[in-house]
A and B are shown apart, each in its own frame.
Chain A
Amino acid sequence: MEKEVIMAASQPVAYERKKWEKSQKKQNYYRTLTLFSPITILALWEVLSRTALIDPRFFPPPSTIIVEFVHLAVNGNLSSHVMISLYRILGGFFLGVIPGILLGLLIGMYKPVRYTFQPLVMALMPIPTLALMPIIIIIFGITDFSKMVTIAGSVFFPVCINTAAGVSNIDPIFVDVAKNYGAKSKDYFFKIALPGSLPVMMEGIQMGQAIALLTIVAAEMIGANSGIGYLIWMDYKAFILKGMYVGLVIISFFGYFFSILLRFLQRRLIPWQK
């Protein structure tokens, strides 16, 4: 006869504490991994570039990029380029997000709106707004606003589509609850449709944020005489690749920063989601 005896620890609390400590250690280990992967890549890049195993003209060592960054920052005109880009990004972002949310909610809530606008949204979405930039510039000139419009045009679609999906994914039982308890359309909008669609909507806004950054660089390359995209383009044309990399690093930092900001906002706005 076989017998399996599982020995429980004689001190359960100590046993669980040990387990807890172990899991904490693991957590720290994962954190180091996230930190080390970029550092390793950068170190590798540095070494390969300095030993000319990769062409330092195309891939200047990261340390020289940092030096260039400090140099540009101290010389003063970097911060003005960053500020103007930031201004356009934020302006374009909100110019796209707000109408996106509004139309998305309407599409999700009202069938006639859905059947009228959904085909239009679907048909217009694949058109890159960048391709329309010449027209946008003809209409609005080489102004900050024309860049904002370009960004807004790209940001609008994922936000609108996700918001509409968020609304139509609301369990019909909550619609019944609202109806049975006599919710008027204003209350329905603010208590059911808006909060109910928020989780999916926020995913769309997160996407829109990334698209805004992709768009600003390209837009400033095409038609601008300031901004990070302009900087990247000029340095590229003058073959000052260090400067170009500074621009790319700044954009990448923006993306990282905005993601964290939005995640934070998401936790605040959607406290019921665990």
Chain B
Amino acid sequence: MSSDIKIRVHQLSKIFFRKNSSVHAIRDINFEVKNGEFVCLLGPSGCGKTTLLRILAGLEKPSGGSYEMIHGDRNKPLQSMIFQEKGVIPWMTVEENVAFGLRMRHAPKNETKERTDYYLKKVGLWEFRKLYPSEISGGMKQRASIARAFANDPEILLMDEPFAALDEQNKYILQEELLSIWEETKKTVLFITHSIDEALLLSDRILLMSAQPGTIVREKIIDLPRPRKIASVRSNPKMGKEFVDIWKHLQEAVNGNLKGATTSLPNEVY
């Protein structure tokens, strides 16, 4: 049962209809995600990544096509989303935020307490649990957001650039924390990013998207051994090649030119 399909997306399209200027955000998206797989969606800004994720999260209706998320264990929620920023609710303490999902689905009190406490400790927010979001840093808020999703114990996690607004160091720390939590829970993850490094570090597989209207143009299997650490992924020469390859693709996608203009690489990366 470990390699069965968890998410199946078929010819999914979304058009934002306006009287004068409709936006074709995504077109004919097809992909599958296996149970327990960590998949990153990588694409240029505005290509419809958020739109796709919001559809899967039940916050938006698709214009065409279909998707299916297989609900295995009926005692668990199907999916939870981790929002890009500002997802923590200002009028709840850190603790109440982390417990939010469990409270909303009326989980038993002791289970709620147990899971909340566990993930508060796990993400290092235990001492800050009584504070309000306005009293903690941006990195801590994002930790609370992650803890809330994991505490809710869904089968699928949908993450929309959760670390994009963080500074480098916080980002690395949180990426490794996410990996370590994910490795012990083995949830199915669909993770949006526009950072190539982040995608290489985290994922089993990367789906590359084209510019608007977004569609999936390529996939890459990242078969680095786990558990992964930033240092080892960074120093792996194979990953350097992958980076260049994806970088070229993104340039092409942005330029809308599949032959590829002369690409200049940031030489400090590798």
User: Does A181 belong to the interface (CB within 8 Å)?
Assistant: yes
Q: Which residue of A lies closest to B148 (CB)?
A: A181
- List chain B residues, Cβ under 8 A from A272: 90-92, 132-134
Residue numbers in A under 8 Å from B81 (CB-CB): 176-177, 180
Query: Are B77 and A182 closer than 8 Å at their CB atoms?
Result: yes
Instruction: Please determine whether A171 and B86 come into contact, CB atoms closer than 8 angstroms.
Output: yes
Q: Decide yes or no whether B104 CB sits under 8 A from chain A.
A: yes
Q: Contact at B83–A182, with CB atoms within 8 Å?
A: no
Instruction: Tell me which residues across on chain A come within 8 A of B80, comparing CB atoms.
Output: 180-181
- A178 to chain B: closest residue by CB: B104
Give chain B nearest CB distance to A59 CB in angstroms: 49
Q: Tell me the minimal C-beta distance from A147 to chain B in angstroms.
A: 36
In Å, the complex CA distance between A274 and B90 comes to: 11
A 206-223 to B, binary, CB cutoff 8 A, 1 in contact else 0? 000000000000000000
Q: Nearest Cβ in chain B — how far from A142, in angstroms? A: 45
Knowing A198-B91, A272-B134, the reply to whether A176 touches B104 (Cβ < 8 A) is: no
Q: Are A181 and B86 touching (Cβ within 8 A)?
A: no
Residues A173 and B58 in contact in the complex (CB < 8 Å), given A198-B91, A272-B133: no
Within A219-274, the residues touching B (CB, 8 Å) are 270-274
Determine how close the nearest CB of chain A comes to the CB of B251; give it in whole angstroms. 32
Contact B91 A179 (CB under 8 A): no
- The CA-CA distance from A195 to B105 in the complex, in Å, is 20
Q: Which residues of B contact A192 (CB under 8 A)?
A: 89
A: number of interface residues (CB 8 Å)? 23
Q: Given contacts A173-B86, A174-B89, A177-B89, are A182 and B132 in contact (CB under 8 A)?
A: no
Contacting pair A179 B59 (CB below 8 A): yes
Verify A271–B58 contact, CB threshold 8 A.
no
- How far is B152's CA from A184's CA once the two chains are assembled, in angstroms? 16
A182 and B104: CB pair below 8 A? Answer: yes
A104 in the interface (beta carbon within 8 A): no
Chain B residues within 8 Å of A177, by CB: 81, 83, 87, 89, 100
Partner of B134, one of A187, A196, A274: A274
Q: Distance in Å from the Cβ of B53 to the closest Cβ of chain A?
A: 11
Q: In the complex, what's the smallest C-beta–C-beta distance from B100 to chain A, in angstroms?
A: 6
Residue B162 at the chain A interface, CB threshold 8 Å: no
Within 8 A of B (CB), among A129-168: none
- Residues of A contacting B101 in the complex (Cβ-Cβ under 8 angstroms): 181-182
Min CB gap B63→A, angstroms? 19
B140 on the A face (CB < 8 A): no
Measured between beta carbons, the chain B residues less than 8 angstroms from A178 are 104
A270 to B58, CA, bound (A): 31
Q: How far is the CB of B199 from chain A (nearest CB, A)?
A: 23
Query: Is A183 interfacial (CB-CB < 8 Å)?
Result: yes
Let me know if A181 and B104 touch, CB within 8 A.
Answer: yes
In the bound assembly, the distance between CA atoms of A180 and B81 in angstroms comes to 7
Residues of B within 8 A of A174 (CB): 89
* Residues on A with beta carbons closer than 8 Å to the beta carbon of B105: 181-182
Interface flags, B202-244, vs A, CB<8A=1, else 0: 0000000000000000000000000000000000000000000
For A198, what are the chain B residues with a Cβ–Cβ distance below 8 Å?
A: 91
Give the complex CA separation of A272 and B134 in angstroms: 7
Q: Which residue of B lies closest to A271 (CB)?
A: B132
B215, chain A: closest CB distance, angstroms: 25
Whether, in the assembled complex, B57 has its beta carbon less than 8 Å from a beta carbon of chain A, the answer is yes
A203 to B92, CA, bound (A): 21
Bitwise, B79-105 to A at CB < 8 A (1) or not (0) is: 111010011011110000000110111
Q: How far is the CB of B90 from chain A (nearest CB, A)?
A: 5
Of B59, B100, B103, the residue contacting A176 (CB under 8 A) is: B59
Q: A180-B57, A180-B81 are in contact. Are A173 and B104 (CB under 8 A)?
A: no
Cα separation A175 to B11 with both chains bound (whole Å): 28
Residues of chain A within 8 A of B89, CB atoms compared: 174, 177, 191-192
- Which residues on the A side are within 8 Å of B152 (C-beta)? 181
Nearest CB on B from A184, distance (A) = 8
Contact yes or no, A181 B91, CB < 8 A:
no
The smallest C-beta distance from A273 to any residue of chain B, in angstroms, reads 8
Q: Which residues of B are found within 8 Å of A183, using beta-carbon distances?
A: 104
CB-CB nearest in chain A for B152: A181
Top 7 nearest A-B pairs (CB, nearest first) are A272-B132, A195-B91, A181-B101, A180-B81, A183-B104, A181-B104, A272-B91
A-B contact pairs, 6 of them (CB 8 A): A173-B86, A176-B83, A180-B79, A181-B77, A181-B80, A182-B77
A interface list, Cβ under 8 A from B: 171, 173-174, 176-184, 187, 191-192, 195-196, 198, 270-274
